[in-house]
Amino acid sequence: MTYDLAVIGGGPAGVAGALTAALAGLRVALLDSSVRLGGQYFRHAAEPGPAPGLDRFLRQARALDARADVLLGHQVWSVTREPDGDLVVYSVARGAGSQDRQVLKARRLLIATGAHDRPLPFPGWDLPGVLTAGGAQALLKGDGVVAGRRIVVSGTGPFLLPVATGLAGAGARVLGVFEANGGLGLARYPLLALGKAGEAAGYAASLARHRVPYRTRRAVVAAHGEREVEAVTVARLDQAWNVLATRVVECDTVAVGYGFVPQIELGTQLGCATRDDVDGTPVLDVDAAQRTSVPGVWAAGEPTGVGGWLLSETEGRIAGRAVVADAGTPQPVPGALLRRRERGRAFGEALQRAYPVMPGWQGWLRDDTLVCRCEEVPLARVREARDLGATDARSIKLLARPGMGWCQGRICGYAVSCLAGEPPRPPRRPIAQPVTLGTLADLPDVSEISDVPPAH
Ligand SMILES: Cc1cc2nc3c(=O)[nH]c(=O)nc-3n(C[C@H](O)[C@H](O)[C@H](O)COP(=O)(O)OP(=O)(O)OC[C@H]3O[C@@H](n4cnc5c(N)ncnc54)[C@H](O)[C@@H]3O)c2cc1C
């Protein structure tokens, strides 16, 4: 059996796209590596709460579950194309061995794989107690776990606010939010900021209620401790993020986030064209119908550019309609949906302009600061590679091994590109996620793929 549509990713984009197609009668499979639908924003373990849109998302997820094959806990590591044009989606059940692999066929593919955190290295960032902001948020939302007791939140962008207020609301003592950029932020784009004014006021009130100081032009530039974080150095920064002055803050946890990196590996694997987003990050290039440059492949949500859950959901709905039209039933896209996408994209671009990553962070590093934590590559080795003539991130990787480990450069890739002095390049990985050799050695014959048992 061949599905009409395979959707990879069960966040707001993937669920909206899959449901739109399933409601129109298409046979749809959705795969997500998580144990429940929701993606990064709606990953709540608990009942509907105050998160905007959560009730609606849960209704969509229930409707999808009844109409499509939802394969949770399935990490997609490759998608290939057969000579007859069908796409073959390879996945493994998360954390399991080669027995739990799954292969399915589909005529069309929707890539809705979201984004991951973008951390920057600093001395001590490899100590237990240093987390990404998204990681701290995921622990809290997904598992109800508060990352620490005395927490410092640092980085850039408005995402630091829900992280800090969430942690403070859950009982942690948040000692400060340190925003590396200046005070104006999104206020430089008043029309766009207007739509978010209520949300921003809510965060400001929550920070005030919990007595959490919010300081701009400040960042954590080092973490200290014998076995785990005991304190951090917070620096006052100039506009380029060079350090002007420092002070030490005692804490047990640091949550750091410098924006997000769209996950586009499955698209680049298939040869989809990319473009550079406003901040230079490669994203999948799509047309007005969310169609990529590869026939039969659509993309929605953060792989096409980061702009928040509502933009992701809107793009998912537009992509779903385009897929239904491609299957033979014309589906006009309502103007309201197109306008919402335009507003969402403008907001996403304004965010990137308002909260850039400035080059001064490279001056926070010491020779022994690990740039790549998986392969334990210190800055000195990256510099040696550059001195040997490596002028791009790929050559540095070949000479010094940053990005060769388990995370395949997801954590250090951005930093290595900056240190190489080049913009990040689109990832080219024949295997998008780590899999065992057993999985690779024992692939099934694609021509014998039969019905896939639904996971529910
Ligand atoms: C760690 C993190 C935490 C965030 N928390 C918040 C928050 O609290 N508030 C907020 O406003 N915004 C948050 N964001 C931003 C948020 O990602 C978006 O606003 C929104 O969730 C994007 O929706 P999406 O559908 O595009 O992607 P996502 O919601 O990220 O959904 C993508 C889904 O694809 C799945 N996936 C990815 N690759 C594969 C693969 N190879 N195989 C199988 N499944 C795969 C993922 O498991 C995920 O469920 C967070 C982002 C990150 C990275």
CA-to-CA distance for 369 and 287, rounded, in angstroms? 42
Per-residue pLDDT for 89 more than 80? yes
Do 362 and 419 touch, CB atoms closer than 8 A?
A: yes
Per-residue pLDDT for 216 more than 90? yes
8 lines ligand 1 (CB under 6 A): yes
| Higher per-residue confidence, 43 vs 92 | 92
The whole-number average pLDDT for the span 347-366 is 94
- Considering only CA atoms, which of 76, 137, 115 is closest in space to residue 277? 115
Q: Tell me the per-residue pLDDT of 178-190, one tens digit each, with 9 for 90 and over.
A: 999 997 665 666 5
> Residue 134 has what DSSP assignment?
H
Helix (H, G, I), strand (E, B) or coil at 449: coil
231 lines ligand 1 (CB under 6 A): no
**pLDDT at site 219:** 98
Radius of gyration of the chain (CA): 22
Per-residue pLDDT for 256 more than 90? yes
The whole-number average pLDDT for the span 397-404 is 90
Per-residue pLDDT for 18 more than 80? yes
Instruction: Please work out, in degrees rounded to the nearest 5, the angle formed at the alpha carbon of residue 255 by the alpha carbons of 222 and 203.
Output: 125
Q: H or E stretch including 153?
A: strand 150-155
Q: Which atom of ligand 1 is nearest to the CA of 166?
A: 8
Q: Which atom of ligand 1 is nearest to the CA of 15?
A: 25
Q: Which atom of ligand 1 is nearest to the CA of 132?
A: 1
Classify strands 130-132 and 253-257 as parallel, antiparallel or unpaired: parallel
| Higher per-residue confidence, 93 vs 78 | 78
Distances (CA, A) of 27 to 100, 110, 113, 320: 23, 13, 20, 12
- Domains of the chain (ranges; CATH) run 2-116+261-351 (3.50.50.60), 119-258 (3.50.50.60), 358-431 (1.10.10.1100)
**pLDDT at site 50:** 65
- Considering only CA atoms, which of 212, 217, 215, 223 is closest in space to residue 250? 223
34 lines ligand 1 (CB under 6 A): yes
| Structural tokens at position 151 | 């927490």
Which residue in the block uniquely carries the two structure tokens 């739990």?
100
**pLDDT at site 59:** 93
Helix (H, G, I), strand (E, B) or coil at 408: coil
CA-to-CA distance for 207 and 450, rounded, in angstroms? 54
End-to-end Cα separation, the chain, in angstroms: 19
- Considering only CA atoms, which of 198, 148, 208 is closest in space to residue 177? 208
The whole-number average pLDDT for the span 87-116 is 86
Helix (H, G, I), strand (E, B) or coil at 399: helix
| Higher per-residue confidence, 258 vs 196 | 258
| Structural tokens at position 230 | 């005991």
Per-residue pLDDT for 198 more than 80? no
Confidence of residue 455 (pLDDT cuts 50, 70, 90): very low
Classify strands 260-262 and 274-276 as parallel, antiparallel or unpaired: unpaired
What b-and-e string marks burial along 179-208, b requiring 16 or more CB atoms within 10 Å of the CB? bbbeeebbeebeebbeebeeeeeebeebbe
73 lines ligand 1 (CB under 6 A): no
| Structural tokens at position 408 | 């395949």
32 lines ligand 1 (CB under 6 A): yes
Q: Which atom of ligand 1 is nearest to the CA of 313?
A: 25
433 lines ligand 1 (CB under 6 A): yes
When mean pLDDT is compared over 40-54, 135-149, 210-224, the highest value belongs to 210-224
Do 8 and 76 touch, CB atoms closer than 8 A?
A: yes
Per-residue pLDDT for 194 more than 60? no
Residue 14: phi and psi, rounded to 5, are: -65, -45
CA-to-CA distance for 117 and 262, rounded, in angstroms? 9
What b-and-e string marks burial along 215-227, b requiring 16 or more CB atoms within 10 Å of the CB? ebbbbbbbbebee
% of the chain beyond a pLDDT of 90: 74
Classify strands 130-132 and 87-93 as parallel, antiparallel or unpaired: unpaired
**pLDDT at site 427:** 82
Q: Tell me the per-residue pLDDT of 22-53, one tens digit each, with 9 for 90 and over.
A: 999 999 999 999 988 999 988 765 554 567 78
Mean confidence (pLDDT) of the chain: 90
Of 256-270, 302-316, 424-438, the poorest mean pLDDT is in 424-438
Confidence of residue 443 (pLDDT cuts 50, 70, 90): confident
Classify strands 274-276 and 282-284 as parallel, antiparallel or unpaired: antiparallel
Count other C-beta atoms under 10 Å from residue 239's C-beta. 10
